[in-house]
Amino acid sequence: MTAGGADIRHSLTRHFHPGVPGVIGVAVSGGSDSLALLYLLHDWQRDGGPDLRAATVDHGLRAEAAAEAAEVARICAGLGIAHETLTWRGHDGAGNLPDRARRARYALLAEWARGHGIADIAVGHTEDDLAETFVMRLARGAGVDGLAAMRDRWRVAGVRFHRPLLGLGREALRDLLRVRGVAWVEDPTNSDAAYERARTRAALAALAPLGIDTATLAATARKMAGARAALYHQAHGLAQDHVRIEAGDVVIARAALRDMPDEAARRILQTALRWINGAEYPPRGPAMTQFLAAARDGETMTLQGCYMQAQGDMLRIGREYNAVAGLRVPQGQVWDGRWCIEGPEMAGAEVAALGPEGLRACPDWRAGGLPHGAALASPALWRGEELMAAPLAGWSGGYALRLSRDGASYFDALLSH
């Protein structure tokens, strides 16, 4: 291995220390970045590093994809690495294709990993991807969070994904493959101006003579990540003093929210929404700006399946009834991604929102202190059309409710960005 190759290898292995996994899954498309990742991990494995398993996702969007996956399988066989091709046939022609394909890819990889007892998957994003993403988000008017560097670790469905090559440029990795005589696939969409990323790469090539190159933009993205961490740290401290969790809702002191810096207040509200609705992403900038203004003015507003309303000197954010009105799960299952009902098992019983009919069956529901909207969306136990228990509306019926993600997880979420 050349001196440059040794530096690349060291950069990769350092990412996984301490606590190196016993086995790493690696996502390999056949492009230069993921192939370089495969070979680097294989070098490490031969020197006593983690075991490897590889997977390729065929999205079914290009005729060549199946042959490319077969070529990856051939390469893996030559290296003695088990390989599987995962197929997605879910595109119906609607929606944002790159986003849907990305979500499907990570869902398939996470399912594959769990099936093999793999907790960690490495993907081949590089410093070039970091710079390109920065420019694309800049074009959308993103703020600090959007411009911050891509995460080098994150979770999908309980599986840890890793980007161990974010500090390395694409050309350095291609040089490594050239030395080994390894050919890679060029995805035609990378040069198709119909795709945003292809247009961004062309723009970066034009900007490079001005010093606005991949390394400069990646460094700026990393600085923005540091700023993001500092802002969330500030928001966490303010939340500890002015936020509480009550009956699954997030309750915030209105006066304190008005006095907070915008960026801290915005993060407290964003985290409240995602803690309640379990969404992967917060609302987009304009919607969040409107939500912040409404919160400070004490106005009622719904957003992303949550409602917000003032209660005296407090602001309550909870689940919107319309978002869960049709949601029913058998007793014993988690309802709305966060509520468990505990008590005697009852044949045919289901957990569903209390709703208007259930509320009429609970004449003392106001004694619990919940506003009308919160009571409507609260979980209850039903058997057919018969209400059996509504623990948050003053009728326990011998049952109790438990949050599957407790209040502490709200505050933890403010520090996990």
Measure Cα distances from 354 to 79, 293, 308, 407 in Å. Answer: 58, 30, 19, 22
* Residue 251: closest CA among 297, 201, 291, 295: 295
Edge-to-edge strands, sheet with 153-156: 82-87, 51-58, 23-27, 120-122, 159-162, 153-156
Annotated binding site: 29-34
Which pair of tokens denotes residue 337? Answer: 């991604």
- CA–CA dist 100, 302 (Å, integer): 26
Residue 329 φ then ψ, to 5°: -135, 150
Helix (H) or strand (E) holding 409: helix 407-413
Which pair of tokens denotes residue 21? Answer: 């996994």
* Virtual torsion, Cα 268, 271, 275, 281, nearest 10 deg: 160
Antiparallel, parallel or unpaired: β 159-162 and 120-122 = parallel
Measure Cα distances from 181 to 10, 45, 105, 363 in Å. Answer: 22, 20, 29, 77
On the question of a cis peptide bond just before residue 21, with omega within 30 degrees of 0, the verdict is no
The separation between the first and the last C-alpha atoms of the chain, rounded to the nearest angstrom, is: 36
Annotated binding site for ATP: 29-34
H helix and E strand count, the chain: 16, 17
- CA–CA dist 402, 386 (Å, integer): 22
